[in-house]
Chain A
Amino acid sequence: MKASAFSYARATSVANAIELLVTHGDGAKVLSGGQSLMPAMNLRLISPELIIDIGDIAELRGIAVTGDVVRIGALTRHVDLLNSPEIAARLPLLTEAIAHVAHPAIRNRGTIGGSLAHSDPAAELPACMVALKATIIVRGPTGERRIAAEDFFTGIYETALSADELLIAVELPIARYNSAHFFCEFARRHGDYGIVGLAAQAVVEGDILTDLRLAFFAVGDRPVLAKAATKLLNVAVTPAVLSEASKALGEELDPQGDQQASVSMRRHLAKVLLARCVAALLGRPELGSGESL
């Protein structure tokens, strides 16, 4: 289908975009790459009165490294993240995850800010933000707010953003010592939305996990930071320990069933990912064999 009629404004600056948001409120939608918004409009799932195109705001673009923090502007495209040596060196989880975001033609337009503001529970980037302890920076008429990624995603297509606020950038702390990561998702085809996925960031000292953030996606209404991870911290991980964590994960997750996968299939696949993740992080392939399920 075609999008219904709307008005169009090309924002000249962040201040200008916020002014437009203040004036038009819920009737306005911000357009960055358009790779989620345009399908929704073409399918007439949403029919905004005004589209505020922020594509020309240069200050929202780019990757900057300052000390122990990487700042990524909202308009930075997926392809820019994928090809960035700064990201590959400092946040390899993100580089790995981006390759699973849709297809090349989509990654050439889609932006990190757009993906996060859209908050699709099956999307990769929101889960990565939670795993990487990102701070989401938003600006509105009264100034800037810094929101922890864990608090930013509030439901299916819902975030802590107010109608008059614009997502400006994300800031990610760089993990320095003994950091390790894992990313995997099950999808029908490469690039499709994941049926179940896991983005994990860890600290591994010798053969012990001293920190582990497991952000599952497509198993709830938002990225789920699994509490079951605590069962794997500061202990020698045996098959029994992993099995215990796996059981806790199954009890903790409350996934939805749909045409892609039933509730029990999603729960099972999440446990498979947990086992593979721990096996990969600790370099112990025997743990990923499926015994813990």
Chain B
Amino acid sequence: MTTALPISLQVNGERIDAQVLPRLNLADFLREHLKLTGTHVGCEHGVCGACTVRVNGDIVRSCLMLAAQTHGVIIETIEGLSDSGEIADLQAAFRDRNALQCGFCTPGMLVAAQDLLLHDATPDRERIREHLSGNYCRCTGYQAIVDAVESTAHARMGSTP
């Protein structure tokens, strides 16, 4: 039973059929099988948040999910969110506010921040920090990231901070 398992799923709107070994996690499946390398692999035990993707609309750690568990699900990665334009304003705000330096955490940050803004259109800074508390950034000190998310929230509500 350590043999490959068939899975069929949707990734960024595209139907994918694949054979995966049980031990393969979703992050490695996305990166190595589908070449979607925007999903980053940091700690591989659910602490850093760099591998955050959407599964059936919910953000999850792709390092803590087996590819074998994704049969029949809908996955959206940073490539999907970026290409669709869904987070274009958030990405622009990250650039404007210098909310990234090395960029390693950025895909996970964007996916988590967009998740917050979808659930809470007017989060205060504390709420933003709380929602992003599962995503590590070792460059920015977070201040600029909170700025970027806050200004995007204001812009989407049609006001300036």
Binding site for B on A (CB under 8 A): 1-10, 31, 34-35, 38-39, 42-43, 50-51, 53, 55, 79, 102-106, 108-109, 189-191
Number of A-B contacts (CB under 8 A): 98
- The answer, among B1, B2, B63, B134, for a CB contact under 8 Å with A102, is B134
Q: How far is the CA of A42 from the CA of B45 in the complex (A)?
A: 6
Contact residues in A for B45 (Cβ distance below 8 Å): 38-39, 42-43
Chain B residues lying within 8 Å of A7, measured Cβ to Cβ, are 1-2, 22
Which residues of A have CB within 8 Å of B44?
1-2, 42
- Majority SS at the chain B contact face: mixed
A282 smallest CB distance to B (angstroms): 28
Nearest B residue to A103 by beta-carbon distance? B134
Is B69 within 8 A of A53, CB to CB?
yes
B59 lies within 8 A of A55 (CB): no
Tell me the B1-46 residues at the A interface (CB within 8 Å): 1-2, 5, 21-23, 25, 28, 44-46
- Within 8 Å by CB of A8, from B5, B52, B112, lies B5
Instruction: Tell me if B22 and A5 are in contact (CB < 8 A).
Output: yes
Which residues of the partner chain A approach B131 to less than 8 Å between Cβ atoms?
A: 103-104
A106 touching B25 by the CB < 8 A rule?
Answer: no
Q: How far is the CA of A105 from the CA of B135 in the complex (A)?
A: 10
By the criterion CB–CB under 8 Å, are A105 and B1 in contact?
no
Contact for B133 among A2, A42, A50, A189, CB less than 8 A: A189
| Residue numbers in A under 8 Å from B2 (CB-CB) | 5-7
Is B58 close to A, CB under 8 A?
yes
Taking the closest CB of chain B, its distance from the CB of A83, in whole angstroms, is 10
**When the two chains form their complex, are residues A109 and B60 in contact, meaning their CB atoms are under 8 A apart?**
yes
* A119 to B71 Cα, complex, angstroms: 29
Question: What residues of B have a CB within 8 angstroms of the CB of A190 in the complex?
Answer: 129-130, 133
Q: Bound state CA distance, A8 and B24, in angstroms?
A: 11
Across the interface, do B49 and A103 meet the contact criterion of CB distance under 8 Å? yes
Given contacts A102-B134, A191-B130, 16 further A-B contacts (CB under 8 A): A8-B1, A8-B5, A8-B66, A38-B45, A42-B25, A42-B44, A42-B64, A43-B45, A51-B22, A103-B49, A105-B60, A105-B61, A105-B112, A106-B46, A106-B61, A190-B130
Q: Known: A104-B115, A190-B130. Contact between A42 and B69, CB under 8 A?
A: no
The smallest beta-carbon distance between A252 and chain B, in angstroms, is 33
Q: Are B134 and A79 in contact (CB under 8 A)?
A: no
- Asked if A34 and B64 make an inter-chain contact with CB atoms under 8 angstroms apart, the answer reads yes
Contacts of A79 in B (CB 8 A): 58
A5 to B5, CA, bound (A): 13
Specify which chain A residues have a CB less than 8 angstroms from the CB of B115 in the assembled complex: 104
State whether the Cβ of B100 lies closer than 8 Å to any Cβ in chain A: no
Residues of B within 8 A of A8 (CB): 1, 5, 22, 66, 68
Q: List the 5 closest pairs (A to B, CB-CB), nearest first.
A: A103-B134, A7-B1, A8-B22, A39-B45, A108-B58
Give bound CA distance, A55 to B2, whole Å: 19
Question: How far, in angstroms, from A9 to B6 measured CA to CA in the complex?
Answer: 12
Known A-B contacts A42-B63, A108-B59, A191-B133; A55 and B69 likewise in contact (beta carbons under 8 Å): yes
Contacts of A43 in B (CB 8 A): 45
